[in-house]
């Protein structure tokens, strides 16, 4: 199968029956915000990309819920996304796309395709109390009950896939426990893949990025009845009062770490560099042009930062282009060449 065919297949498989083809097939519900990025004093030693060398770069970001459903269920347990576009001094842009899962579900596009096929939403059934007790006796955690109004879910298929494919177990287990944040700015977001950065002295390093919220991570109470629609208003209210900040952290890989498999974590004691601070202080009024119609792409990079050979990262470049075109969005600058 050509990369184009595989990308198209991936995007079709991700589309949900309760989605809307004018929206993104995943991360469908979201809100954008604007602000700026300021690099730390040591950032340029590690990466010569424009936004790590200038005092300040303007940014637009999009926060999102991971689900492809067109209805808003902020309070449901779900992965969240943070896509950041840095506006560079020469008028070009670069993107860094991240999510709340630190590791992905599969090491290859083909593995992810199988996962996505199996995890297509199916009627969701809870467990009886007896089934939960029987499971606990075998050290199996009980399944959560469906949320009010939840009829279909990817959970059963994802768990079945993880039972058969060890590589998916970490991602599926983390996704199952992820919960809902009190605010989009009270989550940590991971860019997941390995990128190659070049420092001022020419040294190349294999690195993974993540955003750490300066206010800290804070989830809602999982036992409370979930509220459907609060995250976008919370962000507008918050930023009208005060800015929100994230630190951009960069983990440096070492020999033996897996650079091309985003389903595998690196050891937790890898060196971490604080690369800069993201400050968000406004929500654009036009949430159609400045959010819904925007297209981010993990391949939109700039000198000083390059893609690793991770095959999932490579196929995402095509998949996001296909998706942007199918939903009639403004093409990413990457697609314009």
Positions that interact with ligand HEM (CB under 6 A): 10-11, 14, 24-27, 30, 62, 64, 81, 83, 97-99, 104, 109, 112, 191-192, 262, 295-296, 312, 315-316, 319-320, 323-324, 327, 329
Residues 278 and 84: beta-carbon distance below 8 Å: yes
Question: If you ran DSSP here, which 8-state letter would residue 336 be given?
Answer: T
Question: If you ran DSSP here, which 8-state letter would residue 190 be given?
Answer: E
User: How far is 111 from 143, CA to CA, in rounded Å?
Assistant: 25
Q: Between residues 24 and 87, which has the closer beta carbon with respect to ligand HEM?
A: 24
Residues 82 and 63: beta-carbon distance below 8 Å: yes
As measured in angstroms, the least distance from the Cβ of 328 to ligand HEM is: 10
Q: Between residues 183 and 324, which has the closer beta carbon with respect to ligand HEM?
A: 324
User: How far is 61 from 147, CA to CA, in rounded Å?
Assistant: 29
Residue nearest to ligand HEM (CB): 81
User: How far is 273 from 252, CA to CA, in rounded Å?
Assistant: 8
Helix axis angle for 109-118 and 155-164, nearest 10°, is 130
Q: How far is CA 274 from the centre of its chain?
A: 20
Give the number of other CB atoms < 10 A from CB of residue 117: 13
As measured in angstroms, the least distance from the Cβ of 201 to ligand HEM is: 29
Q: Between residues 2 and 128, which has the closer beta carbon with respect to ligand HEM?
A: 2
User: How far is 94 from 57, CA to CA, in rounded Å?
Assistant: 11
Q: Between residues 267 and 331, which has the closer beta carbon with respect to ligand HEM?
A: 331
Q: Which two tokens stand for residue 77?
A: 């347990």
Q: Between residues 143 and 189, which has the closer beta carbon with respect to ligand HEM?
A: 189
As measured in angstroms, the least distance from the Cβ of 297 to ligand HEM is: 8
As measured in angstroms, the least distance from the Cβ of 68 to ligand HEM is: 9
Q: Between residues 143 and 181, which has the closer beta carbon with respect to ligand HEM?
A: 181
Specify the DSSP element, H or E, that contains 231.
helix 231-241
As measured in angstroms, the least distance from the Cβ of 323 to ligand HEM is: 3
Q: Between residues 77 and 324, which has the closer beta carbon with respect to ligand HEM?
A: 324
Q: b vs e for 67-84, b when ≥16 Cβ sit within 10 Å of the residue's Cβ?
A: bbbeebbbbbbbbbbbbb
Q: Between residues 48 and 165, which has the closer beta carbon with respect to ligand HEM?
A: 165
Q: b vs e for 200-214, b when ≥16 Cβ sit within 10 Å of the residue's Cβ?
A: eeeeebbbbbbbbbe
Query: What is the three-class DSSP state of 191?
Result: coil
As measured in angstroms, the least distance from the Cβ of 224 to ligand HEM is: 26
As measured in angstroms, the least distance from the Cβ of 169 to ligand HEM is: 16
As measured in angstroms, the least distance from the Cβ of 101 to ligand HEM is: 7
């Amino acid at each position: 199968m050509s990369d184009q065919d595989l990308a198209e297949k991936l995007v079709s498989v991700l589309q949900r029956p309760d989605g809307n083809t004018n929206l993104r097939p995943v991360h469908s519900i979201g809100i954008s915000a604007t602000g700026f990025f300021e690099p730390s004093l040591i950032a340029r030693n590690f990466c010569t990309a424009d936004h790590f060398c200038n005092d300040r770069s303007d940014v637009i970001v999009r926060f999102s819920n991971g689900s492809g459903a067109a209805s808003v269920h902020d309070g449901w347990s779900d992965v969240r996304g943070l896509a950041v576009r840095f506006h560079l001094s020469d008028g070009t842009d670069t993107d860094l796309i991240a999510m709340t899962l630190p590791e992905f579900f599969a090491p290859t596009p083909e593995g992810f395709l199988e996962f996505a096929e199996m995890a297509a939403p199916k009627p969701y059934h809870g467990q009886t109390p007896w089934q939960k007790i029987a499971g606990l006796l075998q050290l199996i955690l009980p399944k959560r009950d469906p949320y009010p109004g939840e009829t279909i879910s990817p959970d059963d298929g994802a768990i079945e896939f993880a039972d058969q494919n060890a590589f998916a177990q970490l991602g599926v287990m983390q996704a199952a426990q992820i919960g809902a944040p009190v605010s989009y700015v009270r989550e940590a977001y991971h860019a997941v893949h390995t990128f190659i950065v070049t420092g001022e002295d020419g040294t190349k390093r294999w690195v993974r990025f993540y955003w750490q919220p300066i206010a800290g991570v804070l989830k809602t109470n999982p036992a409370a009845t979930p509220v459907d629609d609060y995250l976008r208003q919370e962000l507008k209210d918050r930023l009208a009062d005060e800015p929100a900040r994230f630190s951009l952290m960069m983990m440096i890989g070492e020999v033996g770490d897996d650079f091309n498999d985003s389903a595998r974590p690196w050891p937790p004691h890898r060196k971490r560099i604080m690369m800069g601070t993201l400050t968000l202080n406004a929500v654009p009024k036009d949430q159609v042009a400045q959010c819904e119609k925007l297209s981010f792409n993990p391949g939109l990079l700039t000198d000083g930062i390059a893609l690793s050979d991770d095959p999932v990262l490579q196929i995402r470049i095509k998949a996001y282009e296909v998706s942007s075109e199918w939903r009639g969005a403004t093409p990413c600058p990457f697609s314009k060449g």
